[in-house]
Amino acid sequence: MRRTGVAHLPLHGGKAPAWLFRRMTKLAREVIYILCLEYGQNEVLRRLSDPFWFQAFGCVLGFDWHSSGVTTTVCGAVKEALKDIGREIGIFGVGGKGRVALNTPQELRLYGNSFGTDVSPLVYVSKMTAKVDNVALQDGYQLYHHCLFFTSQGSWCVVQQGMNPNKGYARRYHWLGERVKSLVCEPHNAICAVKKEKFVLNLVAKESEPVRQNCIQLVQEGEVFIKEYQKITKLEMPKRHYLLASDINFKRLESNLVKIAEVCPNNFESLLGIKGVGAKTLRALSLIAEIIYGSRPSFRDPARFSFAHGGKDGHPYPVDRRLYDQSIEMLKEAVNAAKLGYSEKMKALKRLMRYF
């Protein structure tokens, strides 16, 4: 991945008006349909997991480029479109915003029952991608939107978004299954952010591998962890540390350690997947790992892509013309080939040419 800069993405309330969303769904349906015919199922997933393409797609569909609603509205339009053409092209979408996101496993099981397919790997992917971005990557943004798009062959991509209400901004996380070698080591295809945060506990960074291994060693030696934690409560920790003794509910932490001991995880991914293992538990484990073993976790913010293509005046950074033109040409080609009504087609092309 290549760092390209940052752009503001304010949290906006409200939703797309019904007249606009209907048209967004129709246009999204035709673009996805032609994309699949021209390039295949997996290419559709690759495009959705590409932050540049995703943002251009949002512009083509007619939504504000700089709004946090781009993520939720584009994903919603694609999901609705796939309800019409999913069985034909073999691509499906589940999840959404708020409570709808929590129903993702149930939605997946409904698809599994309809097609007689084992969807347990996708249920696991949905759970782990959300937990990584909420727990293992502690950047100050809480997830409130989660969408999983997948093919009949089991390929997948995830687009999810977190918010930081105090700062009034959002952060979008893109995952692409075919590029994920490990769910807990540099797993993202891209992370779109307002800015690179100064302090992020990044337990999925490559350089955090020793900490991940030491966390497993700690939970397998529960007594050592308890003794070291009790020492910490009596120490005045340096300001650089990311956890205070007052931040931890010791009784709850102890009960979590009992749960962990029962499961007996042998790697960080299985530890992260245990119900009840949250952000504070991992912060405590990584802090003790640093004290005992001297292995510091990464504080590198992995955000690298911005929400916009850039601006003609160089703000927030110069336009990357090659990537912008590539996005436009691909979409223009798709819309030209789509079986849209003349009026819809011309509006879409005019919108494309304006951005071009």
pLDDT tens, position by position, 60-118 = 776 554 556 788 889 999 999 999 999 999 999 999 999 999 999 999 999 999 999 99
Q: Taking 70 as the threshold, does the pLDDT of residue 181 lie above it? A: yes
Q: Averaged over 48-54, what is the pLDDT? A: 89
Q: Averaged over 54-58, what is the pLDDT? A: 84
Q: Could you count the other beta carbons within 10 Å of the beta carbon of residue 336? A: 13
Q: Taking 70 as the threshold, does the pLDDT of residue 318 lie above it? A: no
Q: What percentage of the chain reaches a pLDDT higher than 90?
A: 42
pLDDT of amino acid 284: 83
Length of the chain: 356
pLDDT of amino acid 18: 78
pLDDT of amino acid 103: 96
β 142-151/190-192 pair status: unpaired
pLDDT of amino acid 52: 81
pLDDT of amino acid 8: 42
Q: Taking 80 as the threshold, does the pLDDT of residue 320 lie above it? A: no
Q: Could you count the other beta carbons within 10 Å of the beta carbon of residue 316? A: 17
pLDDT of amino acid 77: 93
Helix (H, G, I), strand (E, B) or coil at 278: coil
Which residue stretches of the chain are H helix? 18-39, 41-48, 51-61, 69-89, 99-102, 104-115, 120-131, 209-220, 222-232, 250-263, 268-272, 279-293, 321-337, 342-355
Q: Tell which wins on pLDDT, 131 or 5.
A: 131
Predicted confidence (pLDDT) per residue in 147-159, tens digit: 999 999 999 999 9
pLDDT of amino acid 13: 55
State how far the Cα of 143 lies from the Cα of 129, in Å rounded to an integer: 11
pLDDT of amino acid 309: 45
Average pLDDT, the chain: 80
pLDDT of amino acid 193: 80
- Report which listed range, 11-15, 92-96, 342-346, is most confident: 92-96
The answer to whether 334 and 38 have CB atoms below 8 angstroms apart is yes
Q: Averaged over 260-277, what is the pLDDT? A: 90
Q: At what angle do helices 321-337 and 342-355 cross, to 10 degrees?
A: 170
**Across the strands, what pairs with 97?**
145
Q: Tell which wins on pLDDT, 328 or 90.
A: 90
DSSP string, 157-206: EEEEEEEETTTTEEEEEEEEGGG-S-TTSS--SEEE-SS--S--EETTSG
Compute φ and ψ for 176, nearest 5 degrees: -135, 115
- Grade residue 204 by pLDDT with cuts at 50, 70 and 90: very high
The least confident of 32-36, 63-67, 154-158, 166-170 is 63-67
State how far the Cα of 96 lies from the Cα of 285, in Å rounded to an integer: 32
Amino acid letter, 110: L
Reference 351, options 63, 30, 8, 15; nearest CA is: 63
Q: Taking 90 as the threshold, does the pLDDT of residue 267 lie above it? A: yes
User: Is the bond preceding 187 in cis, omega lying within 30 degrees of 0?
Assistant: no
The least confident of 52-61, 130-139, 203-212 is 52-61
Q: Averaged over 225-244, what is the pLDDT? A: 57
First to last CA, the chain: 25
Q: Tell which wins on pLDDT, 309 or 302.
A: 302
Helix (H, G, I), strand (E, B) or coil at 112: helix
pLDDT of amino acid 242: 55
pLDDT of amino acid 92: 98
Tokens representing 95 are 């999840």
Tokens representing 71 are 């993520």
